[in-house]
A and B are shown apart, each in its own frame.
Chain A
Amino acid sequence: MKVDVIVLRVPARPEYLALVRMVVAGTARIDPLLDDERVDDLRVIVSEACTNAIEATHSRGDGQEASDLDSIQVECRLTASQVEVIVVDGGRGFDPGHLGRLPPITDPSRLRIERGLGIPLIRALADESSISSGPDGTRVQAVLQVAPRPPTDAA
């Protein structure tokens, strides 16, 4: 099966996220086509993953300032049926299981927490997603499936 692979590596700094969203959105509009809503979903997914990557990189706690070598790699893999995005960073990681201990969104006590919405957003917007994290980095993978095209009338 044909897979088109686009790889973008950017410094792990906030000002680069707009560029990442632009490239990923542009990539998703190439054949196979995602509709506008799904392209928006993808922009949010990748923005969330990269934001977490920046925070992980900058809190590495190994006594070193985040250097220009700290980067995020964003890979888009396009097939006829899906767009897959993989975001990898080299930061200190986090515990995806921690999210289970947050109160549900509708609980007023949730208002005390201004963060932690990113991963639930990724999971809600993607058709499939996986997040693996450890002390040497985090890998976020999300898949958006392409809606089947209606049959054309051409012979």
Chain B
Amino acid sequence: MIELGLDLTERDGWAVLAVSGEVDVATAPRLRERLVGLVGEGRSRIVVDLEKVDFIDSTGLGVLVGALKRVRTNDGDLALVCTGPRILKVFEITGLTKVFAIHRSVDEATVAG
């Protein structure tokens, strides 16, 4: 199985998690685990950077929705970075563009906080 890439960096108090590869039922659990871990550590401002994601389906969307809920329960926020039309399309069709703040860059996402 090709592993999902998960790369964590910091930017102005935001935890920025860059995801690469394909997010599906095989790989989404790792993403979930990482996000749960971040929230568990008390991170309340998280950016998930999807720019290097080649594929995402509803399993991946569900993980992101779950993380958003968890973060908001702690009065925090979770934003996405995504410009790829193929990935954006899945968010648009499911109406999740109304649920997530989706930015065009990490800079834009971390300024918005």
Contact = CB atoms under 8 A, between A and B. Distances in A.
Interface of A: 14-15, 17-18, 21, 37, 40, 43-44, 47-48, 51, 54, 104-106, 111-112, 114-115, 117-118, 120-121, 124-125
A120 B96 CA distance: 13
A17 B65 CA distance: 22
B61 interface: yes
Given A114-B62, A125-B93, 4 more contacts: A44-B55, A44-B90, A114-B65, A121-B90
Nearest to A16: B26
B25 A51 contact: yes
Main SS class of interface, A: helix
Contacts of B86: 37, 40
Interface string B34-69: 000000000000000000000101110111011011
Interface of B: 1-2, 22, 24-26, 55, 57-59, 61-63, 65-66, 68-69, 86, 89-90, 93-96, 98-99
Contacts of B98: 105-106
A121 B94 contact: yes
B62 to A, nearest CB: 4
Nearest to A124: B93
B99 A111 contact: yes
A51 B59 contact: yes
Contact of A121 (B1, B2, B57, B69): B57
